[in-house]
Chains A and B, each alone.
Chain A
Amino acid sequence: MRKPNSTLAAQPVRRSGAVESRSGWRSRLRAYVHSHRQNARESFQRMVDEPLQSVMTMLVVAIALALPAMLYVGVSSLQQLSGSWDSSAQMTLFLNKGAKDKAIKSLIARLESNTELAEIHYISPGQALDALQDSAGFGEALTLLDENPLPPVLLVVPIGEIEADVPRVEQLVKTLAMEPLVDDVQLDMKWLQRMQQILDIGRQITVLLGGALSLGVLLVVGNTIRLAIESRREEILVVKLVGGTNGFVRRPFLYTGLWYGVCGGLIAWLGVVLGQLWLGTTVTRLAALYQSDFALKSLGLDGMLVLIAFGGILGLVGAGLAVGRHIAQLEP
């Protein structure tokens, strides 16, 4: 032990006491930022020190985030698909198979005078067969047919004004079906509407699932933090005894929650991307069969940032709920 000659006992006691009154706001800020950085680092180190526990919590967060994210990807990919037809109330008129060219021509002429129709395309059975042969790998099979089984087809598109007006479109369908040459009228829009409804349901399920799983994340992170608080009880009491505020005690736990959320979000993004890669080739091949360049919408950098931010917020809030309840109660 040395005799007093150092800075400690040698300096006179300041009337205003405590260290803090001496330093300006600039150094206080610097110390504050440093303290935050240190807390963030130490919280991360603590997680690394207990890898099993941390990874499990992160995985729970990741799964909870990845499921709605995948649903979202699926729904918005389909949305994209239906989007290309979105505004069109295109109708397909299947004509009698034996219809003569002349009769078809006069029908087209009649339809062209119909003010409710904007476009009329004629696809002859031959053209349809050629198209079919080129695509979908039916070429071989089609050569076996004795005669062309395809009917002549008219694609008609109603004018813009009535496109969205379902009763008028349906009225138009009825009128067109009355034409003697017309065998059947198919309204592509019906199909589209059904798909829209399915997509709406999909979106709602995404929101519902996302909400429920977010709540799950809050509870899981909250519980993990609660256990961490319990295991560091002694430390918290000592810190409070030497003048640590509740805020100071809370900080490392909030950072722990933040880390869980951020890492969980990152893992979720990785999971979704890997899932896309795995599913992607299959989906693309399937889409090719249907003459579509449909592909899964990718969850790019934006998606990563959103997942990380959302995970981070959830982790922070979950930790906040836990520390809010437990730390104020811990008093020496």
Chain B
Amino acid sequence: MIEFDNVSKRYPDGHEALSQVSFALDAGEMAFLTGHSGAGKSTLLKLIMLMERPSGGQLLVNGKSLSRLHKSQIPYYRRRVGVVFQNHQLLFDRSVFDNVALPMQVSGAERRDIERRVRAALDKVGLLSKEKLNPVQLSGGEQQRIGIARAVVHTPRILLADEPTGNLDPELSAEIMTLFEDFRNVGVSVLVATHDIALILAMDERVLTLNQGRLSEAARLAQA
């Protein structure tokens, strides 16, 4: 589903965030992306989101090179990717429901469809009773879960998460991870950037480690 082939990213200021990264993530596969801060985790996710373009190498998604994607096609591409942002990126001028509905609204879904799926997504993250509230009224952990509901509401084929458990207690973190696994189990490619080692240890998944822009894949930590 996602294939990095010798991908490098050098920013205009000369800093090389990623150098010659290669890995592949299949449909229905889940992986953790780890590494110290500044190791290039966010850059890697941004490349998949087309927020940044690689300065070298090939990035293929669903067999197609992203560099061939025309600018006008980017929105349609992004609709097949769900992202959980580190800082939630919620909109505080509208209700929880409307925040989660956003990815469906932009793709021109029908209201009935939107309502059904938004409620299903909120139900999954346990916030169905709070759909009418403003995200401001919710705790950090709850806001994070709204972000997750928004990332999955349109059943994306790729799910990216940048420190999705940053604000959550261990119990809630584990539940979120179970949720991600559910998606993995129905064929979604899930890539979770985190430096929550305890969490990684608790899950038996692939671990990709970035170190100063270089990627290495350890044997599964849980097995080691």
Contacts and interface: CB of A to CB of B under 8 A. Distances in A.
B112 to A, nearest CB: 9
Interface stretch (A63-71, A90-98, A166-174, A235-243): A235-243
A245 to B, nearest CB: 4
A6 B124 CA distance: 8
Interface string B115-151: 0110011011110000000000000000000000010
Given A30-B110, A35-B108, A17 B80 contact: yes
Contact of B154 (A11, A19, A27, A234): A19
Nearest to A14: B155
Contact of B107 (A8, A20, A240): A20
A12 interface: yes
A19 B107 contact: yes
B51 interface: yes
Interface in A279-294: none
B124 A19 contact: no
B79 to A, nearest CB: 4
A128 B77 CA distance: 89
Interface stretch (B31-39, B185-193, B199-207, B216-224): B185-193
A28 interface: yes
Contacts of A244: 75, 102, 106
A105 interface: no
A32 interface: yes
Contacts of B27: 13
17 contacts: A1-B172, A4-B182, A7-B116, A7-B117, A8-B152, A13-B186, A13-B187, A14-B155, A19-B79, A20-B107, A32-B108, A235-B93, A237-B89, A238-B90, A242-B106, A248-B75, A332-B51
Interface of B: 27, 49, 51, 72, 75-80, 83, 85, 89-91, 93, 102-111, 113, 116-117, 120-121, 123-126, 150, 152-157, 172, 175, 179, 182-183, 185-188
4 nearest CB pairs, A to B? A243-B79, A13-B187, A244-B106, A243-B78
Interface of A: 1-2, 4, 6-14, 17-20, 23, 27-28, 30-32, 34-35, 234-235, 237-246, 248, 331-332
